[in-house]
Structure 1
Amino acid sequence: MTRLSVLDLVPVREGQGPAEAMQATTDLARAAEEAGCHRFWVAEHHAMPGIAGGATSVVLAHIGNATNAIRIGSGGIMLPNHTPFQIAEQFGTLDALFPGRIDLGLGRAPGAGPELQRALRKDLRAASEYFPQDVAELRALFTGEPEMPVKATPGYGADVEIWMLGSSLFGAQLAARLGLPYAFASHFAPDHLDAALELYRRDFQPSAQCPEPHVMAAMTIFCAEDEAEAHLIATSQAQAFVNLRTGNPGKLQPPVEGYRDTLPAPAKAMLAHLDQASAIGTPSQVASAIAAFVQRTGADEIVASGATFDPEARARSVRLTAEAIG
């Protein structure tokens, strides 16, 4: 059976602020756990008015306290923004608080312009070139192999499950070489999905953490009892994608009836391109779309993305999806 997990960006909705976003994400994590989902991940973004998950490890600590057993983690931490030692301490602390529940998904893309780089006191382009070495150093800080001159406390000996994230062939190559499970961001970058998974499985080198290839693929999923309702609640995420791609990111907007029909051809084509990794509709329609996607990719896990303006609509979508795929 394909496992279902949830990815949330802690979206800030129009007319609200970070406090309401945090509460909605916490409620969603509880709903995901009750629905039997395997993991709940939060992604690191900075200086974006519509996303409140920048202090990812702090958000995860709150979610951990609000839930009981679901695995929680980052999808992901952008390692060039940090030092390996800082992340070892943060996620070692999370493991001490919530033993056996912590995932650490790592990404290379800094996703920051000059202003944010100055705010972070980082040359992120240069830092991203050291990403493979930093991943190896971070793993060594947890495992002690090879022994590091300084031990992270908390961190050393922590049972943190490290994942490689990616949307290109680079992450697939590195995950294969290091023997890490691999999560592909097909929900917003589907172009290299098939080639990346083929490369990852072909070149995979077993490790103590991951003796054989293990793939998670992201899908944008909106499920409702009524097909029209599913497509309507999906329009808030569609607006966010269009606004981001046209250089106008902002808070999550209310749904708009017939939104796609109002768009120029390039925006329609962009959303249609992303649809290849989406499932929108009734429970039976969503289950069929997920099954076809799993058959195509051979994914061991699916992680569901997709923000809704009404937080309860997202929680209901997760519950219906989990029931539909069994």
Structure 2
Amino acid sequence: MIPFSVLDLAPINQGSDAAQSFRNTLALARHAEALGFQRYWLAEHHGMPGIASAATAVLIGHVAGGTSTLRVGAGGIMLPNHAPLAIAEQFGTLESLYPGRIDLGLGRAPGSDAATARAMRRHLASDADQFPQDVMELLDYFAGSPRQPVQAVPGAGLQVPVWILGSSLFGAQLAAALGLPYAFASHFAPGQMMAAIETYRSQFRPSARLARPHVMLGFNVFAADTDEEAAWHATSLQQAFVNLRSGRPTPLPPPVAGYASGLDAQAQALLAQVLSCSAVGAPETVRRQLRAFIEQTEADELMITSQFFDTAARLRSYEIAAEVRTML
């Protein structure tokens, strides 16, 4: 049975705040743990009015401390924003506090606009082209390599699983070359998904960290008791994407009946493309869509994200996803 995991963007709902978002996150993490989800990841974003997970390592600690068996991690840390030593120390601290439960996914995008990226790392060269070197430096810190004049304390000698995240062939090639697990952002950037999967699997080199390729794919799920209810809830994410791509990011909006039908053709095409890796509907509808996606990709693991405005409906959607998983 394919493992399911959770990607939580810690959404800030319209009319709410970050404090409530964090309460919702912990409630969902405990729910996911009880339902048997494999891992629970949070993503680094900055300057986004609808996403509260900017201090990602802090929030990971909050979730890990409020659960007991769930793997908790970053999906991901945007490494160009940080010195690799600082990340090694942060995740070494998390692994020391919650041994055997921490994951570290790494991305090369800044997770923000150019101005925010400069503010994040204003005294350092924030260059995505340095990403492979930064990843290698980080791996050396965890290995306690004598090549590094500074040791990560805590961090050195700890077995923190490191993943490469991506939405293009670049990350697939790097993960394959380093023998690391690979997570593809198909939940919002599916364009090169199949090419990236093929590249990663065909070029994979076994390493001390991973003997065989492991692909995890992001996937949107809006599950409810009826197709109509699920489609209504999905309009919150549709609005958020259109707002973001229009240069005016907002808190997560409440659902609007028939939202997509009122958009112009260009906006409708955008949504159809970026959200093509989604299952929206009642349990049987979601089961069919998930099965088709898994058969197409042969994914080793799915990371389910569900951007619901209504917290109870989001919990219910993950319940349905867990039930459907047993029937795939």
TM > 0.5: yes
Name the counterpart of 1:86.
86
**Contact 1:79–1:107 (CA under 8 A) maintained in structure 2:** yes
For residues 265-284 of structure 1, the aligned pairs below 5 Å read 265-284=265-284
**Contact 1:218–1:302 (CA under 8 A) maintained in structure 2:** yes
Name the counterpart of 2:46.
46
**Alpha-carbon spacing, 1:270–1:90, altered in 2? closer, same or farther (3 Å):** same
Name the counterpart of 2:300.
300
For residues 57-136 of structure 1, the aligned pairs below 5 Å read 57-122=57-122, 126-136=126-136
Q: Distance in 2 between matches of 1:111 and 1:42?
A: 13
**Contact 2:243–2:250 (CA under 8 A) maintained in structure 1:** yes
Deviation sequence 1:246-298 (CA, Å, 0-9, x none):
11101011001111111111111111123431111111211111111111111
Q: Distance in 2 between matches of 1:242 and 1:222?
A: 18
Name the counterpart of 1:323.
323
Whether 1:190 aligns to 2:214 is no
Q: What percent identity do the matched residue pairs reach? A: 53
**Alpha-carbon spacing, 1:121–1:215, altered in 2? closer, same or farther (3 Å):** closer
Deviation sequence 1:195-254 (CA, Å, 0-9, x none):
011010010000111100000001111111111111111111111111111111010110
Deviation sequence 1:155-186 (CA, Å, 0-9, x none):
11122110000000000000000000000000
In structure 2, the gaps of 5 or more residues are: none
Name the counterpart of 2:248.
248
For residues 14-53 of structure 1, the aligned pairs below 5 Å read 14-53=14-53
**Contact 1:80–1:124 (CA under 8 A) maintained in structure 2:** no
Alpha-carbon offset, residue 65 of structure 1: 0.9
Deviation sequence 1:123-163 (CA, Å, 0-9, x none):
78742111001101101111124642211111111221100
Aligned length: 326
**Contact 1:216–1:299 (CA under 8 A) maintained in structure 2:** yes
For residues 147-162 of structure 1, the aligned pairs below 5 Å read 147-162=147-162
**Alpha-carbon spacing, 1:16–1:64, altered in 2? closer, same or farther (3 Å):** same
**Contact 1:117–1:123 (CA under 8 A) maintained in structure 2:** no
Q: Distance in 2 between matches of 1:216 and 1:187?
A: 11
Select between 71-80 and 255-264 the one with higher mean Cα deviation.
255-264
Name the counterpart of 2:204.
204
Name the counterpart of 2:163.
163
Q: Distance in 1 between matches of 2:253 and 2:112?
A: 23
TM-score (norm 1): 0.97
**Contact 1:72–1:103 (CA under 8 A) maintained in structure 2:** yes
| Equivalent AA in structure 2 for residue 132 of structure 1 | P
Name the counterpart of 2:218.
218
Select between 44-53 and 104-113 the one with higher mean Cα deviation.
104-113
The DSSP-based 3-state class of the residue aligned with 1:309 is coil
In structure 1, the gaps of 5 or more residues are: none
Alpha-carbon offset, residue 110 of structure 1: 1.3
The DSSP-based 3-state class of the residue aligned with 2:105 is strand
| Equivalent AA in structure 1 for residue 321 of structure 2 | T
**Alpha-carbon spacing, 1:59–1:243, altered in 2? closer, same or farther (3 Å):** same
Moved over 6 A (4+): none
Q: Distance in 2 between matches of 1:123 and 1:203?
A: 36
Select between 237-246 and 267-276 the one with higher mean Cα deviation.
267-276
Q: CA RMSD in A?
A: 1.3
